Homo-oligomer: A and B are copies of this chain.
Amino acid sequence: MGKNKNVTIQMVADRAGVAKSTVSRVISGSPRISEKTRKKVICVMEELNYHPSAIARSLANRISKNVGLVLPSDEDFFLNPFFQKGLRAIVKTANLRGYDVVISYDESGDTKSIERLVNANKIDGAILMRSIINDSAVNYLRDKSFPFVLIGKSLKYDDVYTVDTDNVVASEKLTRLLIQEGCKKIGFIGGDSNTVVTIDRYRGYLNELERNNLEVNKNIIQENEFNELNGYASMKAIIESDSDIDGIVITDDLIFNGAIEYLYELGKEPRVNLAIATFGSGVQKYPDNIKVFYADVNSVKIGEQSCEKLIDILENKKLDKNDMKQINLIDIIDYTIK
Interface residues, chain A, with chain B CB atoms under 8 Å away: 4, 51-56, 58-59, 64, 66, 69, 75, 78-79, 81, 84-85, 87-88, 91-92, 95, 100-105, 113, 116-117, 119-122, 227-229, 232, 257-258, 260-262, 264-265, 267-268, 283-285, 287
Helix, strand, loop or mixed for chain A's interface?
Answer: helix
A187 to chain B, nearest CB (A): 20
CB distance from A292 to the nearest CB of B (A): 14
**B53 lies within 8 A of A121 (CB):** yes
Q: In the complex, which residues of chain B have a beta carbon less than 8 angstroms from the beta carbon of A81?
A: 79
Q: B100 to A100, Cβ gap below 8 A?
A: no
A4–B55 Cα distance when bound, in Å, is 22
Q: Say how many copies of this protein the assembly contains.
A: 2
Q: Once the chains are docked, how many angstroms separate the CA of A66 from the CA of B68?
A: 13
For the complex, what is the distance from the CA of A74 to the CA of B102, rounded to whole Å? 21
Q: Which residue in chain B gives the minimum CB-CB distance to A228?
A: B283
**Taking the nearest CB of chain B, how far is it from the CB of A91, in angstroms?**
5
For residue A68, which residue of chain B has the nearest CB? B100
Contact (Cβ within 8 A) A120 B264? no
Assuming the A-B contacts A59-B55, A228-B283, A283-B229, are A117 and B100 also in contact, with contact meaning beta carbons closer than 8 angstroms in the complex?
Answer: yes
Which residue of B has the minimal Cβ distance to A145?
B5
Answer whether A101 and B103 are a contact pair too, CB < 8 Å, given A55-B121, A64-B55.
yes
Q: How far is the CA of A239 from the CA of B178 in the complex (A)?
A: 35
| A101 to B257 alpha-carbon distance, docked (Å) | 32
Instruction: Give chain B nearest CB distance to A305 CB in angstroms.
Output: 18
> From A94, which residue of chain B is reached at the shortest CB distance?
B103
Q: How far is the CB of A267 from the nearest CB of chain B, in Å?
A: 6
A285 and B232 contacting across the interface, CB-CB below 8 Å: yes
Give the complex CA separation of A81 and B229 in angstroms.
15
List 28 contacting pairs A-B, 8 Å CB cutoff, sorted by A: A51-B119, A51-B120, A53-B59, A53-B121, A54-B120, A54-B121, A55-B55, A55-B58, A55-B59, A55-B121, A55-B122, A56-B59, A66-B122, A75-B84, A75-B85, A75-B88, A87-B103, A88-B105, A91-B104, A91-B105, A92-B105, A95-B116, A100-B103, A101-B103, A102-B102, A229-B285, A232-B285, A261-B285
